[in-house]
Amino acid sequence: MNTNTTKTNTNKPAHEIRINGIRATIWKNDTDKGPRFNTTFERSYRDGDKWKSSDSFGQQDLLLLSHVATEAFRWIAMQPAM
């Protein structure tokens, strides 16, 4: 069991970045060394009249995914350290 991390409100992300159907969700974990951030990515798409999401990206998604990842990196880099 890792006792060096304390979760910060695991139900709510620290920040989200959306561009078209690509989303980065940034999660914050407070540790004894200061805050640490993890990012998950997903793609939303419409299947008939229902919205669905996937963590799989096609060739046409990759450039936009890289832009969303860059914006996530910038947001995390701007957060104050401990």
Q: Is the pLDDT of residue 4 over 90?
A: no
The domain spans of the chain are 5-77
pTM of this prediction?
Answer: 0.82
Per residue in 21-75, pLDDT (tens digit) is 999 999 999 999 999 999 999 999 999 999 999 999 999 999 999 999 999 999 9
Q: Cβ of 55: how many Cβ atoms within 10 Å?
A: 8
Cα–Cα distance measured from residue 48 to residue 57, given in angstroms and rounded to the nearest whole number: 19
